[in-house]
Amino acid sequence: MLQAIRNRQKILLTIFVTLISIVFVFWGFFGNFGSQTLSKNAVASVNGDAISVQEFQNQYQNTVRLYQNLLKDQFTPEMAERFNLKRMTLNQLIDQKIITQGAESLGLKVTDEEVKDTIVQTTVFHRNNQFDKEYYKLLLKNNRLTPQHYEEAVSLELLQRKVRELLRHHIQISEEEIKAQYLLQNDKVNLSFIRVDAKDFESKIQLTDLDIETYLKVPKNVEAAKADYEENGAQYKVENQVRARHILIKGKTDEARKKIEEIQAKTTAQNFEQMAKEHSQDGSAAQGGDLGFFGKGKMVKAFEDVAFKLKPGEVSDSVESPFGYHLIKVEEVQTERQKPFEEVQNDIARRLLAQEKAKALAKDLSNQIWDSKNSDRKLKNLLKAQGLQWEETGVFNRGAVSIPKIGNAKDMKATAFSKLKEGAWANQKFEIQDRIFLVKIKKREPADLKKLATDKDKLKEQYLSQKQSDAFFGWIQDLKDKSKIVVRKATLDEL
Return the CATH number at 266: 3.10.50.40
Q: Which domain holds residue 291?
A: 240-335
Q: What is the pLDDT of residue 25?
A: 38
CATH code of residue 363: 3.10.50
- Cα–Cα nearest to 265, from 287, 251, 286, 247: 247
Q: Is residue 229 part of a domain?
A: no
Length of the chain, in residues: 495
CATH code of residue 161: 1.10.4030
Q: Is residue 431 part of a domain?
A: yes
Structural contact between residues 108 and 163, judged by C-beta atoms closer than 8 angstroms:
yes
Strands (E), 251-323: 290-295, 319-321
Phi/psi for 442 (5° steps) reads -75, -50
Q: How many CA atoms lie within 13 A of 489 on its CB side?
A: 6
**pLDDT band of 281, cuts 50, 70, 90:** very high
Q: Is residue 66 part of a domain?
A: yes
Q: What is the pLDDT of residue 15?
A: 52
- What is the Cα–Cα distance from 298 to 365, expressed in whole angstroms? 42
53-71 vs 2-21: helix crossing angle, rounded to 10:
120
**How far does the chain reach from its first CA to its final CA, in angstroms?**
37
pLDDT at 458 over 50: yes
Residue 256 and residue 153 share a domain: no
For the chain, what is the mean pLDDT? 88
Fill in the amino acid letter for 165.
Answer: E
By CB neighbour count within 10 A (0-12 exposed, 13-18 middle, 19+ buried), where does 140 fall?
A: buried
pTM of the model: 0.59
Phi/psi for 343 (5° steps) reads -75, -30
Buried b (16+ CB within 10 A) or exposed e, 25-39: eebeeebeeeeeebe
Neighbour tally for 374: CB within 10 Å: 9
Strand partners, 193: 391, 439
pLDDT at 46 over 80: yes
147-168 vs 2-21: helix crossing angle, rounded to 10:
50
Fill in the amino acid letter for 182.
Answer: Y
Q: Is residue 254 part of a domain?
A: yes
Q: What average pLDDT does range 477-483 have in this prediction?
A: 91
**pLDDT band of 26, cuts 50, 70, 90:** very low
pLDDT tens digit string along 396-453?
A: 999 999 999 999 999 999 999 999 999 999 999 999 989 999 999 999 999 998 888 8
Structural contact between residues 175 and 44, judged by C-beta atoms closer than 8 angstroms:
no
Strand partners, 46: 49, 485
Q: Is residue 49 part of a domain?
A: yes
Residue 360 and residue 308 share a domain: no
Number of domains in the chain: 3
Q: What is the pLDDT of residue 238?
A: 83
Structural contact between residues 420 and 409, judged by C-beta atoms closer than 8 angstroms:
no
Q: Which residue has the higher pLDDT, 329 or 297?
A: 329
Q: What is the pLDDT of residue 10?
A: 52
Residue 411 and residue 287 share a domain: no
Structural contact between residues 442 and 395, judged by C-beta atoms closer than 8 angstroms:
no
